Amino acid sequence: MSNTEDTEKETESYLESFKYAGKRLEAEERKDSFGKLMREIVDSGVCTKCSACVATCDVLIWDPITDRPKLSGKCTGCGICYNQCPRTITTIPGLIGEYKAAFTAKATNTEIKGQDGGVVTALLLYGLDSKLFDGVIVTLKSKEEPWKPIPKYVTSKEELLESSGSIYCHSQTVIPLIDSLRKGAHSIGFVGTPCNIDSVDKMQKSPFGLLKLFMRANIFKIGLFCMDSFSYEGLSGFLADNNSSWNNVQKCSISKGKFIFHLKNGEEIVRKVHALNRYKSSSCYYCTDLTSEHSDISVGSVGSADGYSTVLIRTGLGWELFQDAIDNGYIEAKPLERGKLRFVLNLAKMKKQSLYTIKSRRKFVYQAPQEVVERPKYEPATKDDIIKAAARKMVKLVKTDLDNKFIRFIVTNSSGETLDNVKVHIASVQDFFEVASWETNIKVWYPFEELEFEYPRTKDDTEYLIQLNDYKGLVLSRVANIQKILEKKQAKK
Ligand SMILES: Cc1cc2nc3c(=O)[nH]c(=O)nc-3n(C[C@H](O)[C@H](O)[C@H](O)COP(=O)(O)OP(=O)(O)OC[C@H]3O[C@@H](n4cnc5c(N)ncnc54)[C@H](O)[C@@H]3O)c2cc1C
Ligand code: SF4
Ligand code: SF4
Ligand code: SF4
């Protein structure tokens, strides 16, 4: 056989495997394009320059100028490169941890008014009724300050029933846990968010962990799914700004990216979760565990119909307790369909991605006072300046947004290096004149860190200018037109 034939055969068999992988990804609806790989891994600075993506696909080359992978042909968006990259998280255990079985389930006892299927409360009730637990750690709502989380060791059915439902704020659940052990409890059912579960797990497994050394403690960990939690005070302020208060709130829920305050009068205050980011706990920006990977049983809402909970059984003990609760009529359950599990995986992926963009999540917000600097004549950058700045690709305008009071610019340092002494100039521009302008100096700007500038809007505003300069000159110059932003916002709605 000639050499040419050999090469052709090799190429053909490689292409067959490439197609096969593409078909599998298509069937699983996991077609993550090269654009996604660029956004998540390359642009965020996580790329190790290993070249696995380039090596596997014929339309990718290594760009020697930018030292990054680059498209040289048409991308079909098959997702193969994304799935070879060592930095993306794509396996099921990588996304939601190890588990033995997945169910969709609900409590049978109608006294249980759960957040979703009431499965957590039903499991705890079974544990208490059967004397497997001395008591359980749950989070109640404060009577003095409505909706403030009060973590508590409870032993009665009455208090347990009161504890059902979710409070989207941190709860210090470990205090009553250790307190109850100190007072003589030995076997405890513990409910917590993934970060709560991690505390207990660490204390159980680290060589000097007190729950490892205090061998009388048996703790059964029921972990909740969790995407974010918020500051109680922050949300109180938000409610006040919306002419309401915690006293009016019947239930809180998070669904399809929206935070919903269900009010006692039947009305709802609904906001995109994203819009409440300023009240989000700082820890949640750095958290990558959606499903309480270190628990015995994990329970959440995503993946199940209204009124049901999604349950992941992780340990042998978790399996036995869940089955016993079913056999004894506390819970009804059926296996979670593969397609529904995909919803859990997708959400978990969103959370894991915070690993890739961890630096850009360190966002600093600058609130600009009006009219600090007088710069009477609007001096737009020359075309040459703009081309040069773009070629240096040092700074990117990530987003421009506005409300009635403020215009917001979010910029990121995309140079891959720390920038020093960057001068930021923002101005409201009317008829080529700056009517109000403001300047600040960013002493140190880390790679991929985002800066948000919140600039008070001027009366009858039409355009705003944002310019950034480093010691070499202009690195960004953009004009934001109010009319166009409003039209874009309207179109999105
Ligand atoms: C902060 C937070 C964020 C969440 N985010 C998501 C999400 O993004 N996606 C998703 O699918 N599910 C999420 N959940 C889980 C979901 O809201 C339900 O708790 C879960 O589906 C169990 O429902 P259930 O009806 O079986 O539980 P229930 O029977 O109603 O029992 C809920 C249990 O949670 C305990 N609890 C309530 N608030 C807290 C708290 N702040 N800290 C510790 N324990 C608490 C209660 O004491 C009770 O024992 C979140 C829960 C919380 C607390
Ligand atoms: S065609 Fe190539 S670059 Fe595009 S997604 Fe598939 S493997 Fe990646
Ligand atoms: S496979 Fe991932 S880490 Fe390797 S070069 Fe491509 S993007 Fe970078
Ligand atoms: S997102 Fe993470 S850190 Fe924040 S409350 Fe949930 S588990 Fe805890």
Q: Does domain 96-229+281-356 sit in CATH 3.40.640?
A: yes
Q: Is 7 left (phi over 0), alpha (psi -120 to 50) or beta?
A: alpha
Per-residue pLDDT tens for 290-332?
Answer: 999 999 999 999 999 999 999 999 999 999 999 999 999 999 9
Cα 391 to ligand 3 centre (Å):
23
Cα 204 to ligand 1 centre (Å):
23
Cα 219 to ligand 1 centre (Å):
19
Mean pLDDT within 116-144: 97
Q: Which atom of ligand 4 is nearest to 170's Cα?
A: 5
37 C-beta closer than 6 A to ligand 3:
yes
**Where is pLDDT greater, at 367 or 234?**
234
What is the predicted pLDDT for the residue at 1?
38
The values of phi and psi at residue 219, to 5°, are -120, 125
Per-residue pLDDT tens for 326-361?
Answer: 999 999 999 999 999 999 999 999 899 876 665 444
Residue among 195, 340, 343 at smallest CA distance from 282: 195
Mean pLDDT within 469-493: 86
281 C-beta closer than 6 A to ligand 4:
yes
- Of the pLDDT bands very low, low, confident and very high (cuts 50, 70, 90), residue 389 is low
Q: Which atom of ligand 3 is nearest to 42's Cα?
A: 7
Place of tokens 């202009």: 474
**Where is pLDDT greater, at 465 or 415?**
465
Contact between 298 and 224 (Cβ < 8 Å): yes
- Of the pLDDT bands very low, low, confident and very high (cuts 50, 70, 90), residue 190 is very high
What is the predicted pLDDT for the residue at 448?
74
At residue 191's C-alpha, the angle toward residues 190 and 194, to 5°, is 115
Protein residue with its CA nearest to atom 21 in ligand 1: 300
The values of phi and psi at residue 406, to 5°, are -125, 155
What is the predicted pLDDT for the residue at 377?
47
Any idea where the domains of the chain sit in the sequence? 3-88, 96-229+281-356, 363-492
Question: Out of 141-145, 187-191, 209-213, 487-491, which region has the weakest mean confidence (pLDDT)?
Answer: 487-491
3-state SS string over 179-227? HHHHCCCCEEEEEECHHHHHHHHHHHHCCCCHHHHCCCCEEEEEEECCC
Residue among 307, 290, 308, 287 at smallest CA distance from 298: 290
Contact between 209 and 235 (Cβ < 8 Å): no
What is the spatial distance between Cα 101 and Cα 313, in angstroms, rounded to a whole number?
A: 5
Q: Which atom of ligand 3 is nearest to 41's Cα?
A: 7
What is the predicted pLDDT for the residue at 7?
58
Q: Mutation test of ligand 4: which of 96, 169, 195 has the most ligand atoms closer than 8 Å to its C-beta?
A: 195
**Where is pLDDT greater, at 419 or 189?**
189
Per-residue pLDDT tens for 61-90?
Answer: 999 888 899 999 999 999 999 999 999 999
Does 235 have pLDDT greater than 90?
A: yes
Cα 322 to ligand 2 centre (Å):
43
Does 403 have pLDDT greater than 80?
A: yes
Q: Which CATH architecture has domain 3-88?
A: 2-Layer Sandwich (3.30)
Q: Which CATH architecture has domain 363-492?
A: Sandwich (2.60)
What is the predicted pLDDT for the residue at 439?
87
Half-sphere CA count of 489, side-chain side, radius 13 A: 11
231 C-beta closer than 6 A to ligand 4:
no
Per-residue pLDDT tens for 5-52?
Answer: 555 666 788 889 999 999 999 888 777 889 999 988 887 778 999 999
Q: Considering the chain, what is the average pLDDT of its residues?
A: 89
- Of the pLDDT bands very low, low, confident and very high (cuts 50, 70, 90), residue 367 is low
42 C-beta closer than 6 A to ligand 3:
yes
Residues 6+ apart with CB under 8 A from 268: 260, 261, 262
3-state secondary structure of 77: coil
